[in-house]
Chains A and B, each alone.
Chain A
Amino acid sequence: MYSLASYRLMTGNEAVAFAVKQVDVDFISAYPITPQTIIVERLSEYVSSGELDAEFVPVESEHSALSACIGASLAGARVFTSTSSQGLALMHEVMYIASGMRCPIVMAVSNRALSAPLNIHGDHSDIMGSRDAGWVLIFCENPQEVYDYTIQAFRLAEHPEVLLPVAVNLDGFTVSHSSEPVAILEDEVVRAYLPRRERPRLEFEEPASFGVFALPTHYFEFKVEQEKALRKAGEVLEEVSAAYPNRSGRLLKLSKFNEDGRIAIICLGGTAGTVRHVVKKYGMKDFSLISLKLFSPFPSEELLDALKEAEGVVVMDRATSPGAPLPPLASNVAASLYEAGVRLPLMSVVYGLGGREPTLKMIVEMLEKSRERIGEGGPVVSRMYLGYGGG
């Protein structure tokens, strides 16, 4: 049993900060960057007003923010940070170290485009650039999911069979800055959901060396063990979400809508809401929607299961992977299909770069285009830039 405290009107950023406060983190270190800044500001307020008993270390860069988080995590603290875009890029080096040192840090990423040209608006280029850093990557559609998934992220990260950092992604502005009423849990319910667990830490009486170097004789094993732990996070997530008190807020690997549609649209984050709306509003019943909540470890099995009846897929990427055969999400979907021996027509759509939000009209255009391409005699793989104005 659980009790919902109430509803609170919150933006995505505020939902992160509120969840982090309830989670009773010990340590926060972050650096301001749009569109994440409000998270840092709210948390500073909670700490200075005494609502949250934590140390807030206002570092001089994101590189130092994540470095300080690693130090704090190894000292035994429950740790949080957040960033966007250039800040995440600056953390890139340290992200690999956080996962390699098995630090259960939770980070919110208010996703934003990468420079150049400079752009403060939403897309997924930032996190996709770090997708091989060995973190668990979660995507949220709305402030409610942001709230629920942030809390669950801590339990997943700290699970003894996982001990890996988790990034909770929310689209810059469309989710980070949109308000909606969020169902929140009581503080005690959150605390009971997240008991403290022992893990190795820096302690004078039990001296250990952390962050050693490994020669070719051992490095490979370290990295494979780490990858196994990341795969394990997929299994552990099931128990983590099953235990989450608010049933409707449980973090599933993916959510499905209109399962009978013959063409499946696959996307990450807030865009799922727009696609769902279009399918409903225009009665485009031949489309189903798969909103992926977990990008890493990639839930291939669940995805294949969801695609059992599909005749084709449209994969929406809000990032490009210049020079690669397919952008990140499409590439993972294609690999999953290949592994299952399924040769489903796939339309790869790149959209929304630098905050060019997909309008209803754009989504309709995309769906219509996919009807033409996914059918008798169509190409196995086709590509489209949605909303692109160039030639």
Chain B
Amino acid sequence: MPISKLADLYGREGLSPGHSACQGCGATIAVRQVLLAAEPPYIVVSPTGCLEVISTPYPFTAWRVPWVHVAFENAAAVASGIEAALNVLERKGIGRRHKVIVIGGDGGTFDIGLQALSGAFERGHNILYVCYDNEAYMNTGIQRSAATPPGSITTTTPAGKRERKKDIVSILVGHGSPYVATASPHLWKDLTNKVRKAQSIEGPTFLHIIAPCPRGWYFDPHLTIKLAKLAVETRIFPIYEVENGRYRINYLISRPRPVEDYLRLQNRFAHLLRPENAALLEEFKRWVEDRWSQLLKMAEAFPA
């Protein structure tokens, strides 16, 4: 059922104010939207990362919903355990099923957590895995991850990252996941609809959300939503969903904005706009074009 008003949402504000995220943190905006849409009862699992650290400095917690963190690389395994355990406890009459939602950063998802994620998806656990993608390891001070886009400066790629971004959606589609989608916090209706849709489907589902990070991308905090929008409108972060291997582009960008509009606002890309780095900028554009045309081909070959 599509959502048209915020009031239609389930309405549990899962993350209370007062946590210590930076102003304009895209990740926490995304988390709020996810939890407003999530169907209760649910349990949230987070790997180590910004979200965990900004929300749970003992003796405080910002979580108004049950939440658990175990380590950096194992959130999907922890979620597997909770989901499977609650199945049997309900069967035995000594517990009840909850929906299980993992919310983790790109490092805990694309890199160190990929094995556990792959295992959980291959085994087919009934979980929703949400990755808030701020495109680097922010908690430890902005180091590159497999989700860092080409050209981006991080503290471990001081001259700009050479490699392209890992295509996590294709990896999970390759696991046979029934539902894998991307989303952006500026399109909150689309995002919240996708959360509900993912939770209504049996099996492991995945939501990849772009989460602009003022601290790590070096931009003014008031630009978070604008940057999320620009990422989509430049085709840098396409919004689409893959249901049982069938592709649907939710926001077909027929006339993309120039990528420079997006890059210019963030100091992590400042060098790309300098004339001597024209080749790097070209490589960035080629990456965006390749991704988009590949997506169009998939949507044509396997339409929803």
Contact = CB atoms under 8 A, between A and B. Distances in A.
Interface of A: 26-27, 29, 53-55, 57-61, 63-65, 67-77, 79, 93-94, 97, 101, 196, 201-215, 218, 222
A67 B65 contact: no
Given A54-B88, A209-B56, A67 B70 contact: yes
A310 B171 CA distance: 65
Contacts of A61: 115-116, 119
A71 B85 contact: yes
14 contacts: A55-B84, A64-B80, A68-B84, A70-B81, A71-B79, A77-B85, A77-B88, A202-B66, A204-B40, A206-B66, A209-B63, A210-B67, A213-B57, A222-B58
Contacts of A54: 88
Give the most central of A57, A59, A75, A101: most B CB within 10 Å.
A75
B61 A27 contact: no
B63 A60 contact: no
Contacts of A55: 84-85, 87-88
Contacts of A196: 94
A212 B82 contact: no
Contacts of A67: 70-71, 74, 77-78, 81, 116
Interface of B: 40-43, 45, 52-53, 55-59, 61, 63-71, 73-74, 76-82, 84-89, 91-92, 94-95, 98, 115-116, 118-119, 122-123
Given A63-B77, A68-B78, A75-B85, 18 more contacts: A27-B85, A53-B92, A55-B85, A55-B87, A57-B81, A59-B80, A59-B119, A61-B116, A64-B116, A67-B81, A71-B70, A72-B81, A75-B95, A79-B85, A204-B41, A209-B66, A210-B66, A212-B69
B113 to A, nearest CB: 10
A263 B76 CA distance: 53
Contacts of B71: 67, 93-94, 97
Contacts of B88: 26-27, 53-55, 77
B5 to A, nearest CB: 24
A97 B48 CA distance: 13
A23 B64 CA distance: 35
A196 B94 CA distance: 10
A64 B45 CA distance: 14
Contact of B85 (A76, A93, A203, A222): A76
B84 A72 contact: yes
Contacts of B86: 75
B41 A26 contact: no
A213 B81 contact: no
Of residues A196, A203, A206, A212, which shows the largest number of chain B Cβ atoms within 10 Å of its Cβ?
Answer: A212
Nearest to B67: A209
Nearest to A58: B123
B220 to A, nearest CB: 29
A69 B41 contact: no
Given A53-B91, A59-B119, A67-B77, A207 B67 contact: yes
B44 to A, nearest CB: 9
B80 A71 contact: yes
B84 A57 contact: yes
B70 A205 contact: no
B68 A211 contact: yes
Contacts of B66: 202-204, 206-210
B94 to A, nearest CB: 7
Contacts of A210: 66-69
B81 A60 contact: no
Q: Which of A68, A76, A93 has the most CB of B within 10 A?
A: A68
A71 B82 contact: yes
A28 B98 CA distance: 19
Contacts of A70: 70, 78, 81
Contacts of A76: 85, 89, 94-95
Contact of A60 (B52, B57, B58, B122): B122
A71 B41 contact: no
B61 A209 contact: yes
A46 to B, nearest CB: 14
Contacts of A204: 40-43, 65-66, 98
B126 to A, nearest CB: 12
A74 B119 contact: no
A208 B41 CA distance: 14
Contact of B58 (A27, A58, A215): A215
A214 B40 contact: no
Nearest to B80: A68
In the A-B complex, the 10 residue pairs with the smallest Cβ-Cβ separation, listed nearest first, are: A71-B81, A204-B41, A68-B81, A60-B119, A72-B85, A64-B77, A67-B74, A212-B56, A67-B77, A71-B78
Contacts of A97: 70-71
